[in-house]
């Protein structure tokens, strides 16, 4: 059962990575200057010694570091991510509340980019150095080079402030609209600008990657053979070139998927999108250790998970890899 | 002298009429109308909504609609009846007797009585309320009957009469909390109070929903049917929500100060800076007096002369600030402006530095110091930038140090800093909110919001102590005037601005800011005009 | 001069090189072109572009043009230094792994993979916050999150070169391993590394701008990302505060990318048109 072995190997690897990340972050965050008890005191507008002691006791901050770490790791293994220092609520709850928003935003941008990017790139590659190709490559390069938050601000300026077509911030109207269809449309309207902002960057990457990959494949011998056999150009492009050229795209897409949570942090800030990236940023500034550790853990899990998915997809797309493993 | 305040039905009626007159011409003409949904912003999402267990600004706003105190305070911070219908303070200042309102019910239908007050002041507050704990540690609380509560003191304590508002001393139900672990009580997520609005729902990440308390003790109140406190994480979206009338109320720092004038000018919105008298926030530049050159008063005076506080008020706080003269906020009944003042005069600053022997070197630099800015966002970053620039012009090279909230708090409380910016609420009485930053006894390393600058003057200590235990208001005022003169002359802190938090609300929403608690009032009288 | 000729054939690369040269000159001569402190108040706050201030003034009355010119120094400096550090770490790790192989290789590959698993931007934010925002912390954070791809590239290059005859010969003749790595293998692996490094400078500049935008920049120095971040709340009232610095970043990053691609085509003709993209 080679498949079973493969899965087992992955599970062991994933566990090791997650454990390592948990330990790393645990220490990193505690190296930082600043005492979470003092932050909470600031939030509460009061700080007598009794309050500080209370907070430290409540969250086990008075325990030795090793004990805190052991407790944390043990809890993580039992899927208990602890309580947020600031709100006292379970960390897992807070993350899972925010996760859908982030997945909606990044997923939309990602899928959109994965469809549009390779398509445009492939068209460009079929007519290298044509006007379309040159123009597309310039545009892609420009978006690749432009800070994503700046693109977001410009889009808000044009489409929300000047034209008033789309809402600039948030995920839904302040007063929720009634009805399933209306509220879905409401979310979609809010989704467009942030998803396009994020999507433009991804598209730029995929366009360039696809074009380069296809041009490289096109010079390979078996493609030349296919052409020599007189197959129509579109058959050559789709059946022979694209299939091979997809491999680096899949690899890259897999890597990207894992980083979706972290990648959206800037866009979520610009558009006040109520997702997990924003949560992580706030948690950091409030020294909400448990919450931050939770966000990191989830992000790392996603990376590990998508790496595995990528591997599986690659085995299907490219039998040579399966043979090698 | 024996003061006595009672308010019967007629008195209450008169108060309502008076409030309506105060609320402006429009309100006075129209009869308040029943009904309507108030949408307010609230940010950040609070950690909890029971005042006392949490004291964060976003906790107070919804919680003050659910819970009530024995008293409330008008704009001049004079006590007004709330759950206590009347009260007496004995001449020696040692006995406070409260007559409680009758017929008040908790949201779960139980009767409110003296036991609840005794429990709140002797168990609940000492256990959870860090700010009021020391105040009520001085008192002994008894209930001679179901509707009378008596507080006795060992020695007079001036600020006590200003300590009974819903924020300083919320009254919680004894039958719900007694015998339980207060912090873990399930009622903390669905609180039960006596206020005009009842808790309905907390949709995490979205809103807190309050509904009308039909059994409220004041007939016909509240006018509003429900209140939604909506969590809107971005200030620009909050502004947009006000603009488009999706929310009707925003306050404190909900709206970036740069945006306030634009919103205030809109015909469908109104803006006021009143209603934060109980908090009276002052921002200052704190210098570590344990270090050179800050231990030299001439340096501190030079700093005051080098800063153009009009520029700070106008260009950084966009006019939503006033220039303070000393440690006590100008809205306080104990304030005086008869103190040494420091006008913007860089030449004078340079002269003072010369006098100290801090001559400019070849590069024009006289001294190099660090500045730890308050990490509360862009406004405070700009303030640090300005201070760096202004002091640079008189030859003091400032390096801005940044930090997150945690690092900022640790460094200030551990005295590990040259200069820092901050703001602090000076509260309803100088003994509660002002003395803590100046008296020697309150230099407590590791604890934030204490005397972290290291200022120490035995005369100031004596005056603050005397004023706190002086029952006579006029004498207290005299003592605080003396304190202000000394402290301002010694520039214990470089006071920058009195913050004037704006409250922006829909023009149709009336009776929003009615007293010194402003948006933290219970909103029993707020209503929408057609 | 085959290389220069090939580079000059690529019009984009030449345009990029010219633009980049101008930006570098601007950065170096900033105190001469705009001889004022970009952090000082020069006029009324929020003056629109035109008139005395070509690019307007910001909320504290600081000259935006001065900020753009002086800000170039920070952006380029951070991009360059962090990439040099990342390259040093990456090449060392990759070289050792690729050259020695065996368990050392295994271990280093694991470590590299581990670092690639950490969501890099959140990791960078975390590092800057822990070390408190400043030039050093930003440079360190960017270097720490960007070295793994270099390590992988270096490893694969070294792995290939290790088995080549001239290396084997050197090993047999008793030359020290360090000498072989530095003087025999590295020069042969250098051209793909240069290409990747040049593109990484662009990425580093973008990362710095995003960190500054989020308020994690060095508050004592003007930088483009900081300018945009500081103006975010007033961008409806004062578009010029975000538009000009944004353009500056975009043009710089674009120019570096064009040069990087030009280098790629010129140094590795067999890989012409192939883009290396970091994640």
Given this model, what pLDDT does residue A309 score? Answer: 81
- Provide the pLDDT confidence category of residue B351 given band limits of 50, 70 and 90: very high
B380 touches chain A (CB under 8 A): no
In terms of Cα–Cα distance, which of B441, B506, B431 is closest to B476? B431
A145 → closest Cβ in C118, C120, C257: C257
CB B293 within 8 A of CB B367: yes
In terms of Cα–Cα distance, which of A110, A104, A278, A266 is closest to A200? A110
Rounded distance between C-alpha atoms, residue C26 and residue C23, angstroms: 5
Residues 9-68 of B with CB under 8 A from C: none
- Provide the pLDDT confidence category of residue C273 given band limits of 50, 70 and 90: very low
The Cβ-side half-sphere exposure at B133, using a 13 Å CA radius, reads 15
Q: What is the average pLDDT value for chain C, to the nearest integer?
A: 85
Given this model, what pLDDT does residue B457 score? Answer: 97
Q: Which residue, among A147, A252, A271, A283, would best test binding to C if mutated, counting the most C CBs under 10 Å from its CB?
A: A147
From chain A, the residues in CB contact with B414 under 8 A are: none
Stretch A78-87: mean pLDDT, rounded? 75
Assign 3-class secondary structure to B284-349. EEEECCCCCCCCCHHHHHHHHHHCCHHHHHHHHCCCCEECCCCCCCCCCCCCCCCCCCCCCCHHHH
Phi, psi dihedral angles at A244 (to 5 degrees):
-75, -40
B15, pLDDT greater than 80: no
| Torsion sign, CA atoms A201, A202, A203, A206 | positive
pLDDT digits (tens, 9 = 90+) for A173-225: 766 677 788 888 888 889 999 999 999 988 988 888 888 887 777 776 666 77
Given this model, what pLDDT does residue A323 score? Answer: 44
B281-287 and B269-272 beta bridge pairing: unpaired
The DSSP H or E segment spanning B505 is strand B503-506
Q: In a 10 Å sphere around its CB, with 0-12 CB exposed, 13-18 middle and 19+ buried, how is residue C220 labelled?
A: middle
B420 beta partners: B286, B372
Stretch A308-322: mean pLDDT, rounded? 70
Given this model, what pLDDT does residue A172 score? Answer: 75
DSSP string over A286-302: TT-HHHHHHHHHHHHHH
The DSSP H or E segment spanning B496 is strand B494-499
B105 beta partners: B111
Stretch B224-228: mean pLDDT, rounded? 96
SS3 content of chain C, % helix, strand, coil (to 5): 75, 0, 25
CB C82 within 8 A of CB C142: yes
- Provide the pLDDT confidence category of residue B16 given band limits of 50, 70 and 90: low
Phi, psi dihedral angles at A257 (to 5 degrees):
-55, -40
Residue of B nearest to C128 (CA): B403
Cβ atoms within 10 Å, residue A31: 8
Lowest mean per-residue pLDDT among A21-35, A205-219, B317-331, C46-60: A21-35
pLDDT digits (tens, 9 = 90+) for C178-209: 888 877 777 777 888 888 888 899 999 999 99
Distance from CA of C60 to the nearest CA of B (A): 7
A291, pLDDT greater than 50: yes
Angle CA C9–C13–C16, to nearest 5: 145
Given this model, what pLDDT does residue A269 score? Answer: 82
Rounded distance between C-alpha atoms, residue A65 and residue A62, angstroms: 9
Lowest mean per-residue pLDDT among A142-146, A235-239, C235-239: A235-239
Given this model, what pLDDT does residue A320 score? Answer: 58
Lowest mean per-residue pLDDT among A228-232, B204-208, B224-228, C33-37: A228-232
C107 is written with which tokens? Answer: 């271990």
Q: Which residue, among B235, B318, B402, would best test binding to C if mutated, counting the most C CBs under 10 Å from its CB?
A: B402
Rounded distance between C-alpha atoms, residue C113 and residue C106, angstroms: 10
Separation of CA B363 from chain center: 44
Stretch C102-111: mean pLDDT, rounded? 90
B237 touches chain C (CB under 8 A): no
B55 → closest Cβ in A44, A86, A94: A44
B396-401 and B367-372 beta bridge pairing: parallel
Q: Cα-atom radius of gyration of chain A, to the nearest Å? A: 24
- SS3 of A186, please? helix
Residue of B nearest to C228 (CA): B378
- Asked if the Cβ–Cβ distance from A87 to B246 is below 8 Å, we say no
B4, pLDDT greater than 70: no
CB C97 within 8 A of CB C90: no
Higher pLDDT residue, B428 or A257? B428
- Provide the pLDDT confidence category of residue C274 given band limits of 50, 70 and 90: very low
Best-predicted range by mean pLDDT (A138-152, B374-388, C77-91): C77-91
C260, pLDDT greater than 70: yes
Rounded distance between C-alpha atoms, residue C83 and residue C180, angstroms: 24
Output DSSP code: residue A176.
P
From chain B, the residues in CB contact with C134 under 8 A are: 402
Share of chain A above pLDDT 70, in %: 85
From chain C, the residues in CB contact with B262 under 8 A are: 237
Stretch A228-235: mean pLDDT, rounded? 74
Stretch B479-488: mean pLDDT, rounded? 97
Rounded distance between C-alpha atoms, residue B394 and residue B390, angstroms: 7
- Provide the pLDDT confidence category of residue B2 given band limits of 50, 70 and 90: very low
pLDDT digits (tens, 9 = 90+) for B153-193: 999 999 999 999 999 999 999 999 999 999 889 999 999 99
- Asked if the Cβ–Cβ distance from B406 to A34 is below 8 Å, we say yes
Q: Cα-atom radius of gyration of chain B, to the nearest Å? A: 24
| Torsion sign, CA atoms A117, A123, A129, A130 | negative
Q: What is the average pLDDT value for chain A, to the nearest integer?
A: 79
CB A286 within 8 A of CB A39: yes
Token look-up 């379309």 returns A132
Rounded distance between C-alpha atoms, residue A322 and residue C122, angstroms: 34
Rounded distance between C-alpha atoms, residue C97 and residue C106, angstroms: 8
pLDDT digits (tens, 9 = 90+) for C12-37: 889 999 999 999 999 999 988 888 88
A289-317 helix and C102-117 helix, angle to the nearest 10 degrees: 120
Stretch C70-95: mean pLDDT, rounded? 93
Q: Cα-atom radius of gyration of chain C, to the nearest Å? A: 22
DSSP string over B77-108: --EEESSEEEEEE-TTS-EEEEEEPSS-B-TT
- Provide the pLDDT confidence category of residue B24 given band limits of 50, 70 and 90: very low
B463, pLDDT greater than 70: yes
In terms of Cα–Cα distance, which of B211, B209, B497, B203 is closest to B374? B497
CB C134 within 8 A of CB C218: yes
- Euclidean distance between the first and final Cα of chain B, in Å? 48
Stretch B54-76: mean pLDDT, rounded? 94
Share of chain B above pLDDT 70, in %: 94
B456, pLDDT greater than 70: yes
Separation of CA A282 from chain center: 18
Angle CA A128–A132–A137, to nearest 5: 75
What is the greatest pairwise CA distance in chain B?
A: 78
- Asked if the Cβ–Cβ distance from B409 to A34 is below 8 Å, we say yes
Higher pLDDT residue, B117 or B240? B117
B18, pLDDT greater than 70: no
DSSP string over A138-161: HHHHHHHHS-HHHHHHHHIIIIII
Cβ atoms within 10 Å, residue A51: 20
Omega of the bond prior to B293 within 30 degrees of 0, cis? yes
- Provide the pLDDT confidence category of residue B498 given band limits of 50, 70 and 90: very high
- Provide the pLDDT confidence category of residue A44 given band limits of 50, 70 and 90: low
Rounded distance between C-alpha atoms, residue B242 and residue B255, angstroms: 10
Please list, in sequence order, all residues whose beta carbon lies within 8 angstroms of the beta carbon of residue C190, skipping any fewer than 6 positions away: none
Cβ atoms within 10 Å, residue B7: 16
Best-predicted range by mean pLDDT (A5-19, B377-391, C169-183): B377-391
A6 is written with which tokens? Answer: 């493969």
From chain B, the residues in CB contact with A51 under 8 A are: 130
A94 touches chain C (CB under 8 A): no
ipTM of the complex: 0.83
Lowest mean per-residue pLDDT among A307-321, B138-152, C3-17: A307-321
Output DSSP code: residue C185.
I
B405-413 helix and A36-44 helix, angle to the nearest 10 degrees: 90
- Provide the pLDDT confidence category of residue A285 given band limits of 50, 70 and 90: low
Given this model, what pLDDT does residue C269 score? Answer: 61
């Amino acid at each position: 059962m080679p498949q079973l072995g493969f899965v087992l190997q992955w599970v062991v690897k994933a566990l090791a990575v997650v454990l390592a990340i948990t330990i790393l972050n645990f220490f990193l965050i505690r190296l930082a200057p600043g005492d979470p008890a003092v932050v909470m005191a600031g939030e509460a507008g009061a700080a007598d010694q009794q309050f500080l002691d209370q907070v430290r006791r409540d969250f086990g901050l008075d325990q030795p570091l090793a004990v805190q770490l052991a407790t944390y790791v043990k809890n993580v293994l039992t899927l208990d991510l602890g309580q947020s220092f600031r709100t006292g609520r379970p960390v897992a709850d807070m993350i899972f509340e925010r996760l859908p928003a982030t997945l909606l935003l990044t997923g939309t941008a990602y899928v959109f980019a994965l469809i549009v990017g390779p398509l445009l790139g492939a068209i460009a590659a079929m007519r290298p150095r044509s006007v379309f190709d040159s123009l597309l490559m310039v545009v892609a390069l420009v978006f690749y080079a432009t800070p994503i938050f700046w693109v977001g601000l410009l889009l808000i300026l044009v489409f929300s402030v000047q034209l008033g077509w789309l809402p600039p911030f948030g995920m839904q109207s302040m007063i929720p609209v009634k009805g399933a269809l209306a509220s879905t449309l409401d979310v979609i309207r809010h989704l467009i600008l942030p998803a396009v902002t994020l999507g433009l960057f991804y598209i730029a990457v995929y366009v360039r990657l696809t074009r380069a990959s296809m041009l490289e494949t096109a010079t390979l011998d078996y493609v030349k053979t296919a052409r020599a056999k007189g197959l129509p150009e579109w058959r050559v492009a789709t059946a022979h070139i694209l299939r091979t050229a997809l491999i680096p795209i899949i690899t890259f897409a897999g890597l990207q998927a894992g980083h979706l949570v972290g990648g959206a942090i800037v866009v979520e800030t610009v558009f006040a999108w109520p997702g997990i990236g924003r949560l992580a940023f706030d948690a950091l500034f409030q020294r909400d250790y448990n919450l931050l550790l939770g966000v990191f853990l989830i992000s790392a899990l996603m990376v590990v998970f998508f790496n595995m998915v990528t591997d599986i997809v690659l085995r299907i797309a490219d039998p040579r890899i399966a043979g090698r493993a | 002298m024996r003061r006595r305040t009672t308010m019967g039905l007629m008195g209450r009626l008169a108060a309502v009429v008076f409030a309506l007159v105060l609320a402006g011409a429009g309100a006075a003409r129209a009869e308040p109308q029943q009904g309507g949904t108030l949408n307010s912003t609230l940010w950040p999402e609070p950690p909890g909504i029971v005042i006392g267990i949490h004291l964060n600004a976003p906790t107070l706003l919804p919680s003050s609609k659910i819970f009530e105190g024995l008293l409330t305070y008008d704009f001049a911070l004079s006590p007004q009846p709330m759950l206590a219908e009347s009260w007496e303070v004995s001449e020696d200042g040692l006995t406070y007797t409260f007559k409680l309102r009758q017929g008040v019910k908790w949201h779960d239908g139980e009767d409110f009585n003296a036991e609840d007050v005794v429990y709140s002041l002797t168990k609940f507050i000492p256990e959870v309320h860090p700010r009021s704990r020391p105040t009520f540690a001085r008192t002994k609380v008894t209930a001679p009957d179901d509707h009378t509560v008596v507080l006795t003191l060992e020695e007079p304590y001036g600020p006590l009469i200003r300590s009974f508002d819903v924020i300083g001393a919320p009254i919680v139900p004894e039958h719900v909390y007694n015998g339980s672990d207060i912090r873990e009580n399930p009622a903390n997520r669905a609180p039960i109070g006596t206020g005009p609005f009842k808790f309905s729902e907390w949709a995490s990440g979205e809103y807190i929903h309050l509904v009308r308390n039909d059994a409220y003790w004041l007939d016909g109140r509240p006018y509003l049917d429900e209140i939604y406190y909506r969590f809107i994480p971005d200030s620009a979206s909050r502004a947009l929500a006000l603009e488009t009338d999706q929310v009707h109320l925003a306050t404190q720092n909900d709206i970036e100060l740069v945006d306030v004038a634009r919103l205030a000018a809109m015909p469908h919105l109104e803006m006021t800076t009143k209603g934060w008298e109980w908090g009276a926030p002052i921002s200052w530049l704190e210098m570590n007096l344990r270090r050179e050159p800050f231990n030299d008063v001439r340096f501190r005076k030079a700093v005051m002369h080098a800063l153009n506080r009009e520029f700070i008020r106008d260009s950084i706080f966009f006019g939503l600030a006033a220039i303070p003269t000393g440690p006590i906020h100008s809205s306080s009944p104990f304030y005086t402006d008869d103190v040494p003042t420091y006008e913007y005069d860089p030449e004078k600053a340079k002269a003072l530095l010369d006098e100290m022997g801090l001559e400019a070197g070849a590069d024009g630099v006289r001294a190099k110091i660090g500045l730890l800015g308050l990490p509360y966002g862009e406004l405070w970053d700009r303030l640090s930038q300005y201070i760096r620039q202004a002091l640079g012009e008189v030859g003091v090279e400032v390096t801005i140090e940044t930090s997150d909230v945690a690092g900022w708090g640790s460094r200030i409380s551990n005295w590990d800093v040259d200069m820092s910016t901050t703001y602090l609420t000076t509260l309803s009485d100088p003994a509660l909110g002002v003395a803590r930053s100046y008296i020697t006894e309150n230099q407590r390393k590791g604890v934030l919001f204490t005397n972290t600058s290291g200022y120490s003057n035995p005369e100031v200590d004596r005056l603050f102590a005397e004023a706190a235990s002086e029952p006579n208001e006029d004498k207290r005022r005299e003592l605080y005037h003396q304190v202000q003169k000394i402290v301002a002359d010694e520039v214990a802190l470089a006071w920058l601005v009195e913050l004037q938090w704006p409250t922006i609300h829909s023009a149709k929403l009336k009776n929003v800011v009615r007293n010194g608690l402003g948006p933290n009032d219970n909103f029993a009288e707020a209503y929408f005009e057609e | 001069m085959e290389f220069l000729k090939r580079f000059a054939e690529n019009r984009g690369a030449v345009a990029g090189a010219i633009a980049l040269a101008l930006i570098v000159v601007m950065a170096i001569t900033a105190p001469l072109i705009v001889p004022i402190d970009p952090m000082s108040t020069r006029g009324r706050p929020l003056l629109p572009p035109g008139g005395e201030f070509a690019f307007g003034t910001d909320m504290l009355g600081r000259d935006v043009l001065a900020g753009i010119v002086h800000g170039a120094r920070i952006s380029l400096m951070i991009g360059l230094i962090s990439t040099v550090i990342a390259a040093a770490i990456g090449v060392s790790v990759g070289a050792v792994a690729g050259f020695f192989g065996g368990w050392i290789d295994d271990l280093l590959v694991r470590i590299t993979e581990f670092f690639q698993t950490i969501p890099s931007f959140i990791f960078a934010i975390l590092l800057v916050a822990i070390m408190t925002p400043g030039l050093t912390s930003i440079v360190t954070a960017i270097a720490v999150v960007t070295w793994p791809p270099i390590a992988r590239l270096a490893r694969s290059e070294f792995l290939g070169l290790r088995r080549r005859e001239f290396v084997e010969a050197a090993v047999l003749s008793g030359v020290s391993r360090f000498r072989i790595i530095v003087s025999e293998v590295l020069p042969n692996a250098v051209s793909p590394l240069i290409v990747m490094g040049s593109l990484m400078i662009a990425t580093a500049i973008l990362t710095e701008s995003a960190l500054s935008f989020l308020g994690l920049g060095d508050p004592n120095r003007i930088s483009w990302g900081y300018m945009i971040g500081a103006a975010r709340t007033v961008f409806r009232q004062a578009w010029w505060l975000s538009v000009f610095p944004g353009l500056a970043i975009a043009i710089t990053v674009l120019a570096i990318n064009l040069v990087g691609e030009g280098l790629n085509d010129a140094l590795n003709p067999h890989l012409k048109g192939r883009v290396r993209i970091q994640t």
